[in-house]
Amino acid sequence: MDIKLAREHINQKPVKIAIKKLEEMLEAKKTDIFYCDKENSHKEITNLIEYFAKKGKHAYCREVRYGLDEGDYMYEIHIM
């Protein structure tokens, strides 16, 4: 399963990354907070959280709004 990471610039396309790559980044302790793009469906985000729960980790998700428009948001995922 792939997840789209948040765009760095508004005109860019989101970068797809495999869950295995996220796991590798967690193990290397590069980061434990990931920002995912709004193009991910709610089901994909839920599946991501369930995947890490099965691995014995705690994952939390919230929407981060960065503008006044209804579509100006991204998902913030904390994995511990």
Q: What's this model's pTM, rounded to 2 decimal places?
A: 0.84
Give residue-wise pLDDT tens across range 30-77: 778 999 999 999 999 999 999 999 999 999 999 999 888 888 899 999
Tokens of 80: 């511990």
What is the sign, positive or negative, of the torsion defined by CA atoms of 25, 27, 29, 35?
positive
**Interior/surface letters 55-74, b for 16+ CB within 10 angstroms, e for the rest:** eeeebebeeeeeeeeeeebb
Name the 3-class secondary structure at 51: helix
Give residue-wise pLDDT tens across range 63-75: 999 888 888 899 9
